[in-house]
Amino acid sequence: MKPAATVSSSLPLAALIAGATCIALSPIWVRVSETGPTASAFWRVALAVPALWLLVALAPRSAAPDAPAPPLGRLLIAAGIAFAGDLALWHTSIKLTSVANSTVLANLASIFVTLAAWVVWRVRPSALFLAGLATALAGVGTLVRTSLDFSPTALAGDALGVATAMFYAWYLLSVKLLRDRGAKVLRLMAVTSSITAAILLPIALATGETMLPATGPGWAKLLGLALISHAAGQGLIAWAFAHLPASFSSVSLLFQPVMAAVFAWSLLGEPLAPLQIAGGLVVLAGIWLARRGT
């Protein structure tokens, strides 16, 4: 009998880094978008939905009969609401503060996940997690200090970045519960993206933002945001996680904000102050420590 085919260990890691790079491009698309921040969040998921459902249809099916699916409606709606809040807040944050700050602060989500488990499920965090939390908060304070010199709106953008992390933590917890109940990754992405689009459309219309780009390149930017950053980025990371140890998740978590800052510097000419670099590195170190302590 031939041994079962295995995936080369280097391929999932390459997919993880490629996916993180795709997602790191998303704040660049948002910053140069011809639509408002909530509108770009809507198009991000709406334009990705057909591609995601196509991937669901093309995905190989297990030879074993599927077990009856438990009712997941409420959890799926909760995940959709959380993801809608995450995208709307983050896209607005990107418009108000530096790409580096908004992306680093949004990645505090993993810390909020552990804090939520502590408050809701009484899962006491380790001393290493608390050390990481203190380190991250020190870095956040440094980033906020640099924002005071960046622009009049940067402080508000930083606050929205932290709020983004809270909504993203809610989304991650919802996804974990859905995965624990047997939800498949691709179908989960397709369903939650569809729900998120349905939530964001009326919100974007109510805000009076510019909904439609005025030029062909404007549509191309939205397609890049939807297909490269959302569908390809999330899909590559989801596939890589299925073939890598859980500890590798920190690779994408720490790689994304670094690449986003590099893209913002090289493509948008967004400067990075020495104090800002130091603060960002301290936040990332704190996140890494906190994840090691969970």
pLDDT digits (tens, 9 = 90+) for 84-105: 999 999 999 999 999 999 999 9
Tokens of 75: 């959890």
Tell me which residue range forms the domain holding 134: 10-57+70-292
Tokens of 3: 């041994």
Report how many helices (DSSP H) and strands (DSSP E) the chain contains, helices first. Answer: 14, 0
The pLDDT score that the predictor gives to residue 138 is 94
Does residue 65 fall inside a structural domain? no
Q: Which of 45, 47, 56, 43 is nearest to 188 (CA)?
A: 56
Does residue 20 fall inside a structural domain? yes
- List C-alpha distances in Å: 49 to 80, 99, 144: 13, 26, 36
The pLDDT score that the predictor gives to residue 70 is 58
Is the backbone of residue 90 left (phi > 0), alpha (psi -120 to 50) or beta?
alpha
Residues 6+ apart with CB under 8 A from 95: 30, 31, 37, 157
Residue ranges in the chain modelled with pLDDT below 50: 1-5, 64-65, 67-68
CA 26 from chain centre, in angstroms, equals 9
Does residue 2 fall inside a structural domain? no
Does residue 219 fall inside a structural domain? yes
Does residue 4 fall inside a structural domain? no
Q: At what angle do helices 154-180 and 73-96 cross, to 10 degrees?
A: 160
- List C-alpha distances in Å: 36 to 43, 69, 117, 221, 224: 10, 38, 34, 13, 16
The rounded distance, in Å, linking the Cα atoms of 137 and 131 is 10
Does residue 64 fall inside a structural domain? no
Tokens of 132: 């990481």
Domain count, the chain: 1
Does residue 110 fall inside a structural domain? yes
The pLDDT score that the predictor gives to residue 1 is 43
The pLDDT score that the predictor gives to residue 4 is 43
Residues 6+ apart with CB under 8 A from 268: 28, 31, 32, 99
The pLDDT score that the predictor gives to residue 252 is 64
Tokens of 275: 């104090």
For the beta carbon of residue 91, count every other beta carbon within 10 angstroms: 29
